[in-house]
Amino acid sequence: MEKIKTKINKNRVIFYLSAKIYPLEAIYGAAYVFLDRAYLFLNNRSGEKITVFLKGKNKLSGKQLEDLKGGFLNELLNYAFRIKLSKDSRKLRELIVGQALISAYGNEDTVQENEIGYENDPLGIAMSWEDKYGVKPKKAEKGKK
């Protein structure tokens, strides 16, 4: 098991991740979770290694900075697994959602038979204002008898 190179100084921990191992989306997801605990900076100059800078928002000891890094790596693994699981189950999810939409919509014959418009109003709520309340009689004009 390869140990991740780490530098700890000035209330920050710096380490490097392989872009081949961890998808960028997973790194962004882990970084988002840590926004409330640390200032983050990501750098990918080489294209192969991603430099992660975590700086504590409060003064942290060396042990706390190591724990911060460990928490970030755990969250990174969590997001990398979610992404892999999402890719692996994509076709199944699309099939399930597609089937649900088809079932909810019904076939074309059923839809035409059950189509409801303002002309076919089973609840009797689509009526004009005049039909519902009647037309108000005009007030007699002043001066006419």
**Amino acid 112: pLDDT:** 54
Summarised one tens digit per residue, pLDDT across range 70-103 is 999 999 999 999 999 999 998 988 888 888 888 8
Q: How confident is the model at residue 142 (pLDDT cuts 50, 70, 90)?
A: low
Which pTM value belongs to this model? Answer: 0.63
Domain ranges of the chain: 6-83
Q: How confident is the model at residue 1 (pLDDT cuts 50, 70, 90)?
A: very low
**Amino acid 139: pLDDT:** 64
Q: Which CATH superfamily is domain 6-83 in?
A: Ribosomal protein S6/Translation elongation factor EF1B (3.30.70.60)
pLDDT at 134 over 60: yes
Are 40 and 52 within 8 A, CB to CB? yes
**Amino acid 4: pLDDT:** 74
How far, in Å, CA of 107 to CA of 52, rounded?
A: 53
pLDDT at 111 over 80: no
- Does 61 or 116 have the greater pLDDT score? 61
**Amino acid 95: pLDDT:** 87
Summarised one tens digit per residue, pLDDT across range 16-73 is 999 889 999 999 999 999 999 999 999 988 788 999 999 999 999 989 999 999 999 9
Please spell the DSSP secondary structure of 118-144, one letter per residue: SSS-TTS----HHHHH-PPPPPPPTT-
Please spell the DSSP secondary structure of the chain, one letter per residue: -PPPPEEEETTEEEEEEETTTS-HHHHHHHHHHTTTTEEEEEE-SSSSEEEEEEEESS---HHHHHHHHHHHHHHHHHHHHHHHHHHHTHHHHHHHHHHHHHHHH--HHHHHHH---SSS-TTS----HHHHH-PPPPPPPTT--
